A and B are shown apart, each in its own frame.
Chain A
Amino acid sequence: MLFGLPITGATITYFVLALIIIVSGVFMLTLTNVMHMAVSLVGVFLGVAGIFILLGADFVGLVQVMVYAGAITILMVFALMLTHRGLNGHLQGEVGPFRGTLTFLSVAIIVGTLLYAIRSTPWPGSTTALQPFHQSTVNLIANAIFHQYTVAFELVSAVLTVALVGAAVIARKEE
């Protein structure tokens, strides 16, 4: 028994993933080289994807890997490489004591609120047997997107297209 949980593969995997996410997150925040930070972010994304898969959302987990750990990271790394900062830059700037204290306080408040919310929520039975790999999550998601929420889905895609075009227009500036 570990924290009141049975030692199954899922438990161990969960703790390993949690550790990866936390460690990567800490690295992400403390490293000074932007490139190193980007790579730490990959660890966070992968860990989150692992948690998704552990919860039975294998499709979402793999999309997380593909889009965030793959595409978004490459995009960031690419942008960093193309700029001068990526080649030899370190993020600089000392944080003053006042700002440090303020940051600590706000983070502490957020963490406290979250912990309180989590502990006080009555979760459904946590030991029910999950059979994640035997339901086809793909079908469920497809049904949700293309039957139940078709209009919303199409609207979102339209918004994204507009955003893309807008980004291109801004990047081109005035001719």
Chain B
Amino acid sequence: MFSWQTQPLTWMHFLGMLIGAVIVLFLVLFIVMYTIYFERKVIGWMQNRIGPNRVGPFGLLQSAADVFKLLLKEDIIPANADRPMFLIAPIIAFVPSFMVLAVIPYTATHIFTAGLNVGVLYYIALSSISIVGIVLGGWASNNKYSLVGGLRSAAQMISYEIPLGLSILGVIMLAGSLNLNTIVTHQATDRFGWYIIPQIIGFVVFVIAAIAELNRTPFDLPEAESELVAGYFTEYTGFRFAFYMLAEYVYVFAISALGTTLFLGGWEGPFLPSWLWFAIKTSAFIFFLFWVRATMPRIRIDQLMGFAWKVLIPVALFNILLTGALSLIL
């Protein structure tokens, strides 16, 4: 395999890397489009509606049509907005969402995966940069709803990043590695099976914190429609709005993939090819997120913060303690 660090970089190598990246990008875009379609269909069924069924067979091309519509729309910049910030904020939010996908092991062959030794850390570190994009977008719009939305999202995401990180810690302790590939292979041979079994508390904390990280119902306060109109992207239109939207759905996919990898055994499973196992588990995870969205009302902001600091973090800490104690005894 080509080692980009030590071997001379030729144009061929560069082109190879570029093409690889573009392929992954389009693959992810495809997945995201159908995540959106999946959400609309699932929630449609849950609400006794049909969901998209006009563009293409079964409405399969609806998301594509939506994206095209957004790309063709006028890019409106409010007169009193902070122009450079307003333009750059969606990009800051969007780029890390794609970057985190680099470490997810989709298949047993690692064809798309960077075997980073600190994969989990990489995910958490990069996803925290997206918050900067959201806060800046809210600030640059020069709209009070956007500002409050941005502030709320910053407070929320910082609060929930802590239980998210702590909930993963139990898995890391069991696997003894931050490398996501290693974590998956460990789960295949672990005597308790997938880590959802020994780490059930961690898994619950992870799912709750993940929903909050994604700003989805019942934790969708930054974009709470009935309170803040659209929160931090109230003033955004066209493809800048699409950037935020896509970033949100890429994170839905990414965090589901991370959850699958950490707790549900990743690509591991009998009979079926590894990528299919991964797809099934991730879809189930995504489905759960949508299910919650269709069921729950929204929590209030102070309750949300209280819940993170008073409930989730102590529980996650307790889980770490328990994991440590159990792995010493057993």
Touch A–B, Cβ below 8 Å: yes
Minimum CB–CB distance for A89 against chain B, Å? 12
Cβ of B116 under 8 Å from chain A = yes
Complex contacts, A137 vs chain B, CB 8 Å: 117-118
Do A58 and B150 have beta carbons less than 8 Å apart?
A: no
Complex contacts, B246 vs chain A, CB 8 Å: none
* A35 vs B295: C-alpha distance when bound (angstroms): 39
Do B139 and A35 have beta carbons less than 8 Å apart?
A: yes
Interface of B is mostly: helix
Complex contacts, B4 vs chain A, CB 8 Å: 8-10
Do B131 and A74 have beta carbons less than 8 Å apart?
A: yes
Cβ of A78 under 8 Å from chain B = yes
Cβ of A7 under 8 Å from chain B = yes
Complex contacts, B140 vs chain A, CB 8 Å: 35
Q: A8-B4, A35-B139, A36-B84 are in contact. Are A81 and B151 (CB under 8 A)?
A: yes
Set A35, A62, A74, A81: member contacting B122, Cβ < 8 A: A62
Total A residues in contact with B, Cβ cutoff 8 Å: 36
Interface size range of chain B in the complex: 35 or more
Do A65 and B6 have beta carbons less than 8 Å apart?
A: no
Q: A59-B118, A70-B129, A136-B117 are in contact. Are A8 and B8 (CB under 8 A)?
A: yes
Complex contacts, A42 vs chain B, CB 8 Å: 92, 129, 132
Set B125, B126, B136, B177: member contacting A77, Cβ < 8 A: B136
Complex contacts, B303 vs chain A, CB 8 Å: none
Do A7 and B9 have beta carbons less than 8 Å apart?
A: yes
Set A70, A82, A133: member contacting B132, Cβ < 8 A: A70
Q: A62-B125, A65-B125, A78-B154 are in contact. Are A8 and B5 (CB under 8 A)?
A: yes
Q: Which of A1-52 contact B (CB under 8 A)?
A: 6-12, 33, 35-36, 39, 42, 46
Complex contacts, A74 vs chain B, CB 8 Å: 128, 131-132, 135, 154, 158
